Amino acid sequence: MTGIVAIVGGTDSGKTTLIEKLIPLLKRRGYKVGVIKHIMHEMVFDQSGKDSWRHAKAGADTVVVDADANIVMFKAVPPDAGGSDRLRGHIMKYFSDMDIVLAEGYKKHNLVKIEVYRESGVTGPVCLGDDNLAALVTDACIDVEVPCYGLEDLESIADMIVKTAL
């Protein structure tokens, strides 16, 4: 089964940067790594008028664009498929060939979480008190009940992800 760890934190805390640094490290260790980016607003990924857009607008439930080096899939998801059921029930099946999935966001979901917090942040850490918080990655000196790692303590963070996710 594919392990999943959510990388969470406030806006501009460094979530994407941490994930960018962890991916090659985990891959060098031999793991297949997938990433899911959770956003809270609708985005348009396909270009209006293009064939794939027209297929989706015509009602296709799944549209795949096969472009030599990449495959892009547009998949209709039931509107009532929300929360972690949506993640586990609809999205994770596309990551069945991965060992580890790093999910950027999902701070309100029932997932193992690593929070990135910068001392310069407007507020404090957002997931303190969450039973799923496994670690804090920070440049601040904070007394918390979970392991704390520095922003560049990548080997230790990767160790923790492997231990937690697998």
In terms of DSSP H, where are the helices of the chain? 15-28, 51-57, 83-86, 154-165
DSSP state of 58: T
Strands 133-138 and 113-117: parallel
pLDDT at 75: 78
CB 57 within 8 A of CB 50: no
Q: Rounded to 5 degrees, what angle do the CA atoms 100, 86, 62 make?
A: 90
Q: Rounded to 5 degrees, what angle do the CA atoms 30, 70, 111 make?
A: 55
Q: What is the pLDDT along the chain (166 residues), one digit of tens a residue?
A: 789 999 999 888 999 999 999 999 999 999 999 999 877 655 556 677 778 888 888 888 888 888 888 888 877 776 666 655 677 777 888 889 999 999 998 888 899 999 999 988 777 898 998 999 999 999 999 889 999 999 999 999 999 999 988 8
pLDDT at 14: 93
Q: Which domains does the chain have, with CATH numbers?
A: 3-41+80-165 (3.40.50.300)
pLDDT at 85: 67
